[in-house]
Structure 1
């Protein structure tokens, strides 16, 4: 009986949109945010993570396709496997590569965006568990239309350059 009540309560919370998830506040800090519906217009593929030894942050790369008629932006990301997740961009200035935090990555209507080495990517810090090459993690990308897209990402060696 108790279990039925708990399941019913969780179902009611989910249907009202008030279920909270840990691990994302727009900057990768552990504050709760409402769970987002899955996007019907943005799709993720070819996701992989360049896995580096702790405590060095790792990075995720993937392809995003917007099949919709409106542009949408990735405004943040989260993963249950990492405590700190941020959108970054690598740029070059006077021969020096530099990474910087970005608040969003635009995906044009009917277009694609590649998050790849040397460009936009997702930084993954503070691994919450021991991770091994060949395993997979789930990465949630938070979109400007209050939806999300999830990607299953393969953990690859540090020297990997592309999928």
Structure 2
């Protein structure tokens, strides 16, 4: 093999390695991160104690946004399905804001990496206390159950 063809093979190999390596936003990395999410039962109990919007059918909803700090707000059950993960000034009502310590606990429970990869760094949560506690998370694509510990 002469030097030119060896150099061409090296460039092709480097190109293939760069093109074939999964990116940080790939489905593979999201699956691993999504599996790590859970909620502590104590955190959920605090949510039900602090809610500013009455729970409908023992279910409450909130969204948490992690842009330049963390903020979580309760929202009405009727707003959940219409939530589009975009900034909406009407949803950022200070009356419905969780205290900072509880918002930090939610971030810790959910795993900051998962939230960082969610749509617009925002997650939507829905928790129920019908027969024990259950929670679901929507990171911008679909609802998924959360493990309760």
Q: Same fold (TM over 0.5)?
A: no
* The structure with more strand, counted as a fraction of residues: 1
* The structure with more helix, counted as a fraction of residues: 2
